[in-house]
Amino acid sequence: MSKVTYKDAGVDLDVYRESMARLPRLLNRTHCPRVMKLEGGFAGLFQLDFNSPLFRRNYEDPVLVSCTDGVGTKLKVAQLTGKHDTVGIDLVAMSVNDAICCGAEPLLFLDYIAMSHDDPVRLEQLVAGVSEGCMRSDSALVGGETAIMPDLYAHGDYDLAGFCVGVVDRKQLIDGSAIAADDVVIGIASSGLHSNGYSLVRKIVFEAAGLGVDDYIEVLGRTVGEELMEPTRIYARPIRGILNHYRRKHVVHGIAHITGGGLHENLERILPEGLRAEIDRDSWTAPPVFDWLRELGDVDPEEMARVFNMGIGLALVVSPFFADSIRNQLQQAGLDSWQIGHVLS
């Protein structure tokens, strides 16, 4: 019997080394002065505050905020299209958008990439997307892990997991407890499907309708693949701008990231007991992808609302006296928003 090697088992350490050599520049572009160098170390180092007095945060009672998520079966669409960079943006968005619901400043991000086999080009595409997401959210990609597991994943399959850590001063923490009757609900536009409900999307588009990723859809103005691969919008920068603007006032009482469960279930999570949100479903304009999917699959409107964001990616519950001002700031940041409802007792 000849000697058995790791390469025989499906893991080529030379190719793996090539993969790792492609990644440092993608991490380094996201680093701020708070990232501490640890060459060859086993962890990423990040100091909570700046050394420079000019940029010092001066936290009084900092609370760390941590989130984790994945991209779900949107990865199957990425494999069909052969486009693997934007799912990295999705990965960052799904965790960072959760962190800002507490009023947190995203600090650092870590990724975990599991692959069926060593593929330096694909790995570089994935991490390039993660790096771009970190740039958009002002967070530092300080490390990650790549696992090659040929017997666990079919050839060409991979999975992603992301981990975000943020910080907020305790007095600035947003947990929904300040929400009161007559507060206004502001809905901020999504960029489309984001990264939720893709099991239903794939069932409708590829199985029921028999479409392919290269089919052009007139009502969407682009191909199936282009629409389904639209990355999740990252809201960290504009929301941080609003919170910093009102730092001395408690104006934003609650923030909900609209993911699986839709607007109703995610908004309900942050409402204090005894309060409810009344939402006017005709108050905003949803991207055409939602009506297209509903008609294509003959999906019940209530089912659509339970599965998808329906055009609202983030919801703010705010003091009614500042609602117009906040919407103006969102507009200046390039985001569409609507006053979609209010809180009732």
**143-167 tens-digit pLDDT:** 999 999 999 999 999 999 999 999 9
Mean pLDDT score across all residues of the chain: 95
More confident residue, 71 or 33: 71
Domain ranges (residues) in the chain: 13-172, 184-344
Q: Which fold has domain 13-172?
A: 60s Ribosomal Protein L30; Chain: A; (3.30.1330)
Q: Whole-angstrom Cα distance, residue 106 to residue 32?
A: 12
What mean pLDDT is predicted for residues 126-144?
97
**15-50 tens-digit pLDDT:** 888 888 888 899 999 999 899 988 878 899 999 998
What mean pLDDT is predicted for residues 292-318?
97
Q: Which fold has domain 184-344?
A: Phosphoribosyl-aminoimidazole Synthetase; Chain A, domain 2 (3.90.650)
